[in-house]
Amino acid sequence: MSPRKSAVEARHTRERIVARGMAIASVDGLEGLTIGRLAADLGMSKAGVLGHFGTKQALQLAALRAASEVFTRTVWRPVEHVEPGLPRLRALCGTWADYLETERATFPGGCLFTTAAIEFDARGGPVRDAVARLFTAWRRRLATEVATAVERGDLPAGTDPDQVAFEVFGVFLALNQEIQLFGSPDAHARTRRALDRVLAG
* Each residue's pLDDT tens digit, 156-200: 999 999 999 999 999 999 999 999 899 999 999 999 999 999 998
pLDDT at 2 over 80: no
Compute and round to an integer the Cα radius of gyration of the chain.
19
Tell me the pTM. Answer: 0.89
| Domain ranges, residue 134 | 3-198
Give Dmax (Cα) for the chain.
65
Q: What span, in angstroms and rounded, lies between the C-alpha atoms of 75 and 20?
A: 21
CATH of the domain at 119: 1.10.357.10
Amino acid at 131: V
Number of domains in the chain: 1
Nearest CA among 163, 122, 116, 114 for reference residue 139: 163
pLDDT in tens, 79-118: 999 999 999 999 999 999 999 988 888 999 889 999 999 9
Cα-Cα end-to-end distance for the chain: 62
